[in-house]
Structure 1
């Protein structure tokens, strides 16, 4: 099969070449990939740490080529969205059926390839905060893939949504169109406390966001877009003046809880137009280097999609 292989001699760290076809386990379906989406974390850290010849990739959408041998999951010919620790950047992918969502017939599989990591991370992070109706929710790093889905989903859940971005003038209108009620340049500028935070930045912004939590509020640390440490000042965790019950929880998408139902629900939302995948770069997988450079240089806000055709 053709695949994007790690290659340290290439400028992007990848080359388009031939790799061995995956051999599915009994609980895995073999999927023929139509499109994949890139994530900052896998591009920044995955390529640097993988041996040459490795096939990386978390997110992909395609069609089931061969159903799982144990009878789980959808039948051959079903369009699906998939997630896993690796293997997405190839024509064929073996996927645990618990991490596979069914997609609507005729949907744009490129758009649906943005769903797994970004959409599911946003959805599950918001669930950790609890019921959203009437709550004030802050999303940091709101112009990233997870952040943009989190803004939309929090608004759908009935929250008052505050989006934090480094450049509100450039991105404010777009974030408001997605559902943000307010757009700020950083958590420290919030006028009043919030009930929950989806933090996609880490470092100083995570510390500032925790300081803006109301009593019994929850901050979900989803990702790190900075190398800054999280340095809390003395007294940051005291529960005085109604600041009791605040918590920080960490996040791991592939924690063993089946993702299939969530991926299917999100895919339906994107296909129906209720969720905007926010694709800001799209091209053939022979142009992967362009998308990777844009991601690493922070020139790409939203999702990058590679079509395999």
Structure 2
């Protein structure tokens, strides 16, 4: 079958022949119709997290398609079922195995391209909000809000009763955030009027310190990324006047729920018009290398989705 494999160089991916999936007993094989690409996958391939991805590796987590081989253990959907899943890798391919604990049926009302944008970014946003106690009437600051996670987080947080100030780099990247419910959209943390009960921070570098300076006493900072690739620098003494506050490191894969349980919530919200995935780019998977370059250079707002023609 065809797949997009890591090259180990600036092109990031190329088409290659890959073996057919050999799924575990609790995994179904999906004929992929669309997949989403995420900046974290780019950072993994380029070595930002440590060792670069080995050439020949097939990346990819967010997939939509139909089941062509049901799980051998009898769990999960039957052959022919339309599904969205969060794979363990290998999703940039014609077929991929997905554990049934990370796979849910997709109603016809939700297009494949829309659903493909849900897993990684949507799961992250949904699980971030669960760390906010009694969210109604709280004020929150979201940095990096015009990315994939940010759009979901703005809409979900607003629906939970949080007054959101969203930080976006430019007006054209922030307009949609206001439509999704942000009480205020600013183009730099310096323009954000605090203090904030909750800060969702994913940029790092100086932005982290600037955001943290706006935390309310007793507030919570949820640190879930470092998109700038710049380390944070903090001085204990700068925060004596706002203590106590809580700083939480947030890895999206640590949760008390399965991916399937949370994907089911995201799919239902989308199907009923209460969640609106932001598709900044939809293209054929032949354009994946170009899309990855644009995503890495922040030329795409929201999510980027690639389609595979049967």
Task: Identify the TM-score tier after normalising by the shorter chain.
Answer: over 0.9
* Residue 99 of structure 1: aligned partner: 102
Structure 2: which 5+ residue stretches go unaligned? none
In the TM superposition, what is the alpha-carbon distance from 1:64 to its structure 2 partner?
A: 1.8
Displaced runs of 4 or more, over 4 A: none
CA, structure 1 residues 192+253, in 2 after alignment: closer, same or farther (shift >3 Å)?
closer
**Residue aligning to 1:305:** 305
Partner residue, 1:245: 244
Partner of 2:112: 109
- Counterpart Cα distance in 2 of 1:307 and 1:185: 32
Match in the other structure for 1:216: 218
The question of 1:139 aligning with 2:142 is answered: yes
Corresponding position of 2:158: 155
Q: Map 1:1-309 onto structure 2 (within 5 A).
A: 1-8=1-8, 12-46=11-45, 48=47, 49-167=52-170, 169-238=171-240, 240=241, 243-255=242-254, 257=256, 258-309=258-309
| CA deviations over 1:233-264 (Å, ceiling 9, x no partner) | 241343x4xx2331111122222641111111
Q: CA deviation at 1:105?
A: 2.8
Cα displacement (A) at 1:99: 1.6
Report the TM-score, using the length of structure 2 for normalisation: 0.92
C-alpha contact 1:112 1:271 (8 A) present in aligned 2: no
Secondary structure at 2:120 match in 1: helix
**SS at the partner of 2:75?**
coil
Quick check: 86-95 or 171-180, which moved more? 171-180
CA contact (8 A) 1:102 1:260 kept: no
**TM-score for the superposition, normalised by structure 1:** 0.92
21-30 vs 183-192, which moves further: 183-192
* Contact 2:115 2:267 (8 Å CA) reproduced: yes
SS at match of 1:196: strand
State the distance in 2 between where 1:80 and 1:51 align.
29
Offset of 1:130 from its aligned partner?
2.3
Size of the aligned set, in residue pairs, is: 304
Q: Secondary structure at the match of 1:16?
A: strand
- What is the Cα deviation at residue 224 of structure 1? 1.4
SS at match of 1:111: helix
The alpha carbon displacement at 1:47 in A equals 5.3
Give the stretch that moved more between structures: 85-94 or 145-154.
Answer: 85-94
**3-state secondary structure, aligned to 1:236:** helix
Would the aligned equivalents of 1:30 and 1:94 in 2 still touch at CA under 8 Å?
A: yes
RMSD (CA atoms): 1.8
Gaps of 5+ in 1: none
* Distance 1:244-1:285 versus aligned 2 partners, 3 A rule: same
Given that 1:195 and 1:217 are in contact with CA atoms closer than 8 Å, whether structure 2 keeps it comes out as: yes
